[in-house]
Amino acid sequence: MRETTTSAAGKICLLLVLFLFDGGACIKWLALGRAWDGLAWTREACTEVRNLGLLERKQAKVCRATLDVMPSFVQAAKDTSTVCQKAFQNRRWNCSSIDRAPDYTSELVTGTREQAFVYAMSAAAAVWRLARGCALGSLAACTCATPPRREPPSPSALISSSSYSKNSMSFALSSKNSFKWGGCGDDVRSASRMAKRFLQGSSPQSAGAVGKFLHAVNMHNNRAGRRAVEQSLTLECKCHGVSGSCSVRTCWRGLGSSGPTVAGARLLRRYASAMEVTPRTGGRLPPLYHLDNLLYTTKSPDYCLPDKMKGSLGTIGRQCNGSSAGYDGCEYLCCGRGHVTKSQEIIERCECKYISCCYVKCKTCRRIITNYECN
């Protein structure tokens, strides 16, 4: 009996080691967002960053071979942190741990839902930044997207496009022939290919079937992230013609100006519907999962109380919203432990009036602000 327990514990340990082995290796590069901004990338810099453990072997190879893509990855690392923390700011897990890269806490290396989101988001951010780099002409390997082979869309297909309303009248009257592909479409396909080469990482050689499986899950989530950017492409158009008559309209497929946030919102929905998978023989993923789904292998902790082993910081002391029934509401965020209400009187200058040069007269106002804090 005792022996069985020991061997079970041994197995769990081994499994944990494997998890930790592969878990965060391919997102350590997110640490580049902090100190490596503005770095002039050289082959030596790639090696140095590799020696610091921020790049995985294959990533360092890509770095040395295509130095010009590295600034895009540095920006993407920043974007990943920003978008993730914005998306999760009022939740129990608020993505603050992403800034610990490359020394992640265990929730980002054990195959949780949160790890799935971070893998996907980092891939999405990388594709977005690379595509932007392509369009700006700062990358050697790509420029603008080749226009689609099919005809430009007919006016009715454009109704949802953002620029439609501006010239809707003349637009509705103009003939189909006045549309053409032009401008600079975002070359998401090339960007996605470049991102893949970098993010793919090498499959763990010594980790066995479980390690291979976890690697496959991570790579699946990476791909889901890249696809989320491809799906965020929208038709963007610009009017030409005499005094904005819009007799000619050029259109391209673009990513807009809102950054990787759009893809982030898409991935947040997929985070909510992520699916659990369990290791199978051969380290392959079961075929029934759609490419867009996020996959996880380990159930997340509830993040209510601090638990170092599980990577939970707990929600004690977090600000909550006294009138919300959602994730940010005190009831949910404080996990039923209750909260303290802290009122604070603020005295400030207000209703200031300009009297004459150099003299402004103000009143003193008192304002009460209320904060709610989890027990």
From the CB of 325, what's the least distance to ligand NAG, in Å? 7
Residues in the chain: 375
Question: Is 96 among the residues that bind ligand NAG (CB under 6 A)?
Answer: yes
Question: Which is nearest to 277 in space by CA: 219, 228, 322, 201?
Answer: 219
Amino acid letter for position 95: C
Binding-site member from 47, 66, 250, 324 for ligand NAG (CB under 6 A): 324
Q: How far is the CB of 104 from ligand NAG (least distance, A)?
A: 15
Part in contact with ligand NAG (CB under 6 A); list of ranges 13-21, 67-75, 123-131, 315-323: 315-323
| Nearest CB to ligand NAG, comparing residues 22 and 79 | 79
Q: Figure out which of the listed residues 116, 131, 295, 313 binds ligand NAG, where binding follows CB under 6 A.
A: 313
Tell me the two tokens of residue 163: 């620029």
User: According to CB under 6 A, which one of 161, 240, 321, 337 is a site residue for ligand NAG?
Assistant: 321
Does residue 344 interact with ligand NAG by CB under 6 A? Answer: no
Which of 168, 324 has the CB closer to ligand NAG? Answer: 324
Please state, in angstroms and rounded to a whole number, the distance separating the CA atoms of residues 109 and 106. 5
- Provide, rounded to whole angstroms, the least separation between the CB of residue 33 and ligand NAG: 17
| Complete edge-to-edge strand list for the sheet that includes strand 179-181 | 179-181, 248-254, 234-240
Can you read off the two tokens belonging to residue 356?
Answer: 């004459």
Q: Is 123 in the site for ligand NAG (CB under 6 A)?
A: no
Taking the complex as a whole, how short is the minimal distance between the CB of residue 116 and ligand NAG, in angstroms?
Answer: 20
Give the one residue of 59, 94, 122, 190 binding ligand NAG; rule: CB under 6 A: 94
- Which CB sits closer to ligand NAG, 48 or 331? 331
Binding footprint of ligand NAG, residue count (CB under 6 A): 10
Question: Cα separation of 195 and 226, whole Å?
Answer: 8
CB-nearer residue toward ligand NAG: 250 or 321: 321
Residue with Cβ nearer ligand NAG (207 or 333): 333
Shortest CB 101 distance to ligand NAG, Å: 16
The contact set with ligand NAG (CB under 6 A) reads 89, 94, 96, 313-315, 318, 321, 323-324
